[in-house]
Structure 1
Amino acid sequence: MDSRMDQDEERGVKITDDTVRKIRVAKVYRENTDRINSMNFSPSGDLLISSAEDDQIVIYDCEKGLQKRTLNSKKYGVDLIHFTHAKNTAIHSSTKIDDTIRYLSLHDNKYLRYFPGHTKKVTTLCMSPMDDTFLSGSLDKTLRLWDLRSPNCQGLMHLQGKPVAAFDPEGLIFAAGVNNESIKLYDLRSFDKGPFTTFRFSYEKDNEWASLKFSPDGKSIMICSFGSMIRLVDAFHGTPLQTFAGHVNNQKLHLEATFSPDSQYVFSGSGDGVIHVWNAESGYKVCVLNGDHPGAVQCIQFNPKYMMMATACTNMAFWLPGGYED
């Protein structure tokens, strides 16, 4: 798997409709006994980390296509796992005992720091792409700004509802979505002054917001919902760009969606185990990919450096272009 990925990177595979239609599952891992609830590629693209409802943290070597390590978090549970800027540490939210965020050394499976403060389930956790800052949002209707080096919250925002949040690719601003009807943009250096702009949208009770994600080029914001709709809005003006639909979500799950690294395509999981792909600019559906997932695909991410995608239900699947098979 490693040599082919290196070749892809060297060739600088241009993503086209044809490339997307030919992407295939190269490897499937069946290590988890319960649903994989989150995953995250390292910024360098050579590692993937996942967390699951069975309290397992699994680290994969993306270049070799191997499972590298498995750690357990039986005491606290684990969700919303993210690499920090160091490949040997991660942050995650907890599913048991309390709603503290935990900073974990992957090298020796020891906690380096705890970040207490949230009083209800943490539903959003995102790491700055540039430094040791991270954001967390919770059902307690607060958004908190943290620094890995301090257990104390660096900033606290009380909101009218459950927040969803994301950093832009430059790490200079962050977006907070509130009450399924507004996105507020904050300058990280002066967030205490309030948002510098607010985008308002019509409230849709059947499409409660589940997450926000900036496109890699920073030009658009994707709103994923607990319904069967994904929205794309302009990151500078808030104008609606596209609405993507057609994927199944009868159970009102958070089905993650992701951009291709060039921001040209949107990939989404579906309740029936398949992957839907749309052209981000035109909005048309390019294809539906079948990865033989036995359950709903709730996690999906594109590798930031390689032409590679990962999708997960209880199984983890690695996808490569051109129908490679191990």
Structure 2
Amino acid sequence: MLFCEAIELSREVPRSRGCRSLRASGDDMRVTNVAKKAVCFPCFLLPWSVTTTGGISFLKIIIIIIFLHSCCADYYKFSNRKLNEGVFFPSHTHTHSRGRATMKLTDNVLRSFRVAKVFRENSDKINCFDFSSNGETIISSSDDDSIVLYDCQEGKPKRTLYSKKYGVDLIRYTHAANTVVYSSNKIDDTIRYLSLHDNKYIRYFPGHNKRVTSLSMSPVDDTFISGSLDKTIRLWDLRSPNCQGLMHLQGKPVCSFDPEGLIFAAGINSEMVKLYDLRSFDKGPFATFKLQYDRTCEWTGLKFSNDGKLILLSTNGGALRILDAFKGAVLHSFGGYNNSKGVILEASFTPDSQFVMIGSEDGKIHVWNAESGMKVALLDGKHTGPITCLQFNPKFMTFASACSNMAFWLPTIDD
């Protein structure tokens, strides 16, 4: 198969007189995807007549180089198959056919994840990060006032920006991959809309007078919502600096859009969840779920599963809750992870909605089956501090975790 692929690659590049060109990208000998018909410099010249002894020997050398490269391929190059097709996999997974191997997220695959690379770009805690919708990049905000953009396909940081004057927290991609919104944690509590292309602010969103604790982009349009310690939730549109809707609440909120962008949920005062129709939120919630109040912790995050059936409540204690998004019943409570200092730890669903993940203050990651409630994996990321941020890539078989360092994880088995 490698021989055939080498010949196909040679047909994609211009011929020079008496030879075929097989191109690779310098030292790391990167051979590009045949389907993309893209190749790189410099050239290795393959004798036109491979029937001679010298030609055959040279061809063998080229094939061996390609084989070694395929076995030791860049650990961060991912294929174009999407998670929402039910299969997703890194490109180092091999098959003996022209199609690529597939991988589904199972208990065994989750247990096989290991840290593939660690980035030490920050001098203080990473307080938030967000994957782009296509899964190709990830952007982080940190208490050191920096914004770092990473390339998930290449596995390396691409750019670092700074917000020294205002600070940066709760960073979120908009629907354009080169723009983000984030909250401020210095001077004021204004939300800022930033162009990554030229590092310029597009718009400011003033209104909150205490720290913003939740920020959620609509999955379908330019609407976003924010919740604050000032006990309000505000509805915004990226195209206008003016607040589009304001809700005064009885307690501190956490909030998030559902996957369809039709409703949003507000967790209030760590004891109730209210669901609002975006088109008529001013009429009040259409559903309210009251939960038993736990005095030992406060709610710090709320997320919907991608199938819209579950709501995940994270806390600053040692417990998580999963609710039925339609009935409000508590389906599972997850504990057994370390958080004795009351750190805000991000919990997340996997993109298939089948598993729940959270980090801990001792640098370990705990994974449960969302349906059965059983713990399926305990992963050691060897983080130097509490894992404050944790998310699975929305498209590819990788996830990221962060303390003051950023770690990219990949599975080590094929399933």
TM range (shorter): over 0.9
Q: Which of the numbers 294, 298, 307 marks the counterpart of 1:217? A: 307
**Is it true that 1:232 corresponds to 2:313 in the alignment?**
no
DSSP 3-state at the match of 2:225: strand
State the distance in 1 between where 2:101 and 2:387 align: 30
Listed as ranges, the matches of 1:164-243 within 5 Å are 164-243=254-333
State the distance in 1 between where 2:249 and 2:256 align: 16
- 1:23-69 Cα distance to aligned partner (Å, 9 max, x none): 11111000100000000001111010000000000000111111011
State the distance in 1 between where 2:412 and 2:297 align: 35
How far has the Cα of 1:207 moved from its partner? 2.2
Partner of 1:64 in structure 2?
A: 154
Relative distance call for 1:89 and 1:290 in structure 2 (3 A) is same
**Is it true that 1:265 corresponds to 2:355 in the alignment?**
yes
- 1:182-232 Cα distance to aligned partner (Å, 9 max, x none): 100001111111111101111111121001000111100000001100000
**Is it true that 1:284 corresponds to 2:358 in the alignment?**
no
Partner of 1:42 in structure 2?
A: 132
Question: Percent identical across equivalent pairs?
Answer: 63
**Is it true that 1:52 corresponds to 2:142 in the alignment?**
yes
State the distance in 1 between where 2:131 and 2:348 align: 12
DSSP 3-state at the match of 2:412: helix
Do 1:26 and 1:323's aligned partners in 2 also have CA atoms closer than 8 Å?
no
How far has the Cα of 1:2 moved from its partner? 4.0
State the distance in 2 between where 1:311 and 1:17 align: 19
State the distance in 1 between where 2:304 and 2:360 align: 20
**Is it true that 1:248 corresponds to 2:329 in the alignment?**
no
State the distance in 1 between where 2:155 and 2:76 align: 7
Aligned length: 324
Relative distance call for 1:196 and 1:12 in structure 2 (3 A) is farther
1:91 aligned partner, one-letter code: V
DSSP 3-state at the match of 2:144: coil
How far has the Cα of 1:11 moved from its partner? 4.0
Q: Which of the numbers 101, 104, 119 marks the counterpart of 1:14? A: 104
In structure 1, stretches of 5+ residues that fail to align are none
Partner of 2:398 in structure 1?
A: 308
State the distance in 1 between where 2:413 and 2:108 align: 12
1:195 aligned partner, one-letter code: P
Partner of 1:320 in structure 2?
A: 410
Partner of 2:387 in structure 1?
A: 297
1:19 aligned partner, one-letter code: V
Moved over 2 A (4+): 1-7, 9-12
State the distance in 2 between where 1:176 and 1:136 align: 10
How far has the Cα of 1:110 moved from its partner? 0.5
DSSP 3-state at the match of 2:390: strand
How far has the Cα of 1:13 moved from its partner? 1.8
Structure (1/2) with the larger strand percentage: 1
**Is it true that 1:147 corresponds to 2:228 in the alignment?**
no
Structure number with higher relative contact order (C-alpha < 8 Å, ≥ 6 residues apart): 1
Partner of 2:77 in structure 1?
A: 3
Do 2:78 and 2:396's aligned partners in 1 also have CA atoms closer than 8 Å?
no
Relative distance call for 1:153 and 1:4 in structure 2 (3 A) is closer
How far has the Cα of 1:323 moved from its partner? 6.4
State the distance in 1 between where 2:141 and 2:207 align: 22
TM-score, structure 1 as length reference:
0.97
Do 1:24 and 1:323's aligned partners in 2 also have CA atoms closer than 8 Å?
no
Structure (1/2) with the larger helix percentage: 2
Do 1:5 and 1:307's aligned partners in 2 also have CA atoms closer than 8 Å?
no
Between Structure 1 and Structure 2, whose CA radius of gyration is higher? 2
Q: Which of the numbers 109, 114, 118 marks the counterpart of 1:24? A: 114
State the distance in 2 between where 1:80 and 1:4 align: 27
State the distance in 1 between where 2:208 and 2:103 align: 43
**Is it true that 1:106 corresponds to 2:196 in the alignment?**
yes
DSSP 3-state at the match of 1:207: coil
RMSD of aligned Cα (Å) = 1.3
State the distance in 1 between where 2:360 and 2:241 align: 37
**Is it true that 1:129 corresponds to 2:219 in the alignment?**
yes
